[in-house]
Amino acid sequence: MSQLNNILTIDVEESFHRNDLLLSTGQRELLGGRLVEQTERLVSLLKAYGQRGTFFVLGEVAKEYPQLVMRFVEEGFELGIHGYHHELVYEQEREEFRHQTRKAKALLEEMVGKEIVGFRAPSWSITERSLWALKILADVGFQYDSSILPARAYLGGIPWSNTRIHRREEAEIIEVPPSIIKIGRLRLPFSGGLYLRILPYSFIQFCIKKLNKKGIPAVIYLHPWELDPELPRLRLKWKGRFALYHNLNTVQAKVERLLREFSFAPIQEVLKDAGSFRGP
């Protein structure tokens, strides 16, 4: 196992929370109700391999499944905020974003009895259009953000952004971007979501080792529903089917190999070890 601590993050949301799909109420109901089982599967894997990570939780999920939130705390995982609803930041008014973010933060902090200092926006939606959100996050008490994908993506991303953990100029906040690899002028995401499902494990392994060789921790992200190959099939157009279902049957094996071959820790721990974080 690699001795460098990489960062493992999990966005705790239902499969119907995808921002690239317009689903009916019936379709959402068909996909829903599986989150506890999906998340327990992932938690059990982390425990089996002695690994830890950061769980970014939606406020509406915490309200519906408070037992999940407490399970994360009992198992020693770090909690972060994923917004209240799974809404794109750049589609919100600034004061609405402030209100919803504060609401989610207060809800989870009341549940667990301690401060939560990390945030991740849905669908990497802190972009050039919404960098104003970083100042709001700092104002309401977040010390780090993990919302800026330093590459082009369908709904988000800033392709010129710093690819390493860094302090932002817009606000007193640390940015923890998901990992990408540079191939010439191309910036290729590889570290989670659909990219992890599409790319062969050998390539993902190569990318992490390349970063680790330079002393850079990889930032990996997962969704509990991606470890659920029995996810109910909806009648969707091919793009929607591809985004939601492609290679779901490969994810658990890839995750197990990652947990076996690399060391992972929560964001706060890695930042503290690097001397760049004061903690809550």
Chain segment 188-205, per-residue pLDDT in tens: 999 999 999 999 999 999
- Kindly state the average pLDDT of the residues 113-117: 96
- Kindly state the average pLDDT of the residues 142-161: 95
Q: Write out pLDDT tens, residues 78-97.
A: 999 999 999 999 999 999 99
pLDDT at 193: 93
Q: Quote the pTM value.
A: 0.95
231 pLDDT more than 70: yes
Provide the domain limits for residue 149.
5-273
> How many residues are present in the chain?
280
3-state DSSP of the chain: CCCCEEEEEEEECCHHHCCCCCCCHHHHHHHCCCHHHHHHHHHHHHHHCCCCCEEEECHHHHHHCHHHHHHHHHCCCEEEECCCCCCCHHHCCHHHHHHHHHHHHHHHHHHHCCCCCEECCHHHCCCHHHCHHHHHHHHCCCCEECCCCCCCCCCCCCCCCCCCCEECCCCCCEECCCCEEEECCEEEECCEHHHHHHCCHHHHHHHHHHHHHCCCCCEEEECHHHHCCCCCCCCCCHHHHHHHHCCHHHHHHHHHHHHHHCEEECHHHHHHHCCCCCCC
Q: Write out pLDDT tens, residues 164-190.
A: 999 999 999 999 999 999 998 899 999
As a whole number of angstroms, the distance between CA 120 and CA 132 comes to 15
User: Tokens 């997962």, residue?
Assistant: 222
Q: Write out pLDDT tens, residues 56-78.
A: 999 999 999 999 999 999 999 99
Assign residue 251 the CATH number of its domain. Answer: 3.20.20.370
Distances (CA, A) of 42 to 57, 74, 94: 14, 15, 34
Q: Write out pLDDT tens, residues 239-255.
A: 999 999 999 999 999 99
240 CB burial (10 A radius; 0-12, 13-18, 19+): middle
In a domain, 279, yes or no: no
275 pLDDT more than 90: no
The percentage of residues in the chain with a pLDDT greater than 70, rounded to a whole number, is 97
In a domain, 211, yes or no: yes
| Structural domain count, the chain | 1
40 pLDDT more than 60: yes
In a domain, 70, yes or no: yes
Residue 279 binned pLDDT confidence (cut-offs 50, 70, 90):
low
- Kindly state the average pLDDT of the residues 130-136: 98
C-beta of residue 252 within 8 angstroms of C-beta of residue 227: yes
In a domain, 280, yes or no: no
154 pLDDT more than 80: yes
Report which of 122, 133, 139 is spatially closest to residue 58, judged by C-alpha positions: 122
In a domain, 247, yes or no: yes
The CA angle 254-72-164, to the nearest 5 degrees, is: 55
Residue 146 binned pLDDT confidence (cut-offs 50, 70, 90):
very high
In a domain, 245, yes or no: yes
The mean pLDDT value of the chain amounts to 94
pLDDT at 134: 98
pLDDT at 120: 98
In a domain, 51, yes or no: yes
pLDDT at 215: 94
153 pLDDT more than 80: yes
C-beta of residue 77 within 8 angstroms of C-beta of residue 54: yes
pLDDT at 276: 60
As a whole number of angstroms, the distance between CA 170 and CA 131 comes to 7
pLDDT at 185: 87
1 pLDDT more than 60: no
pLDDT at 53: 97
pLDDT at 277: 55
- Sequence-distant (6+) residues with CB within 8 A of 212 are 2, 4, 6, 218, 262
In a domain, 62, yes or no: yes
pLDDT at 3: 79
- Kindly state the average pLDDT of the residues 229-247: 94
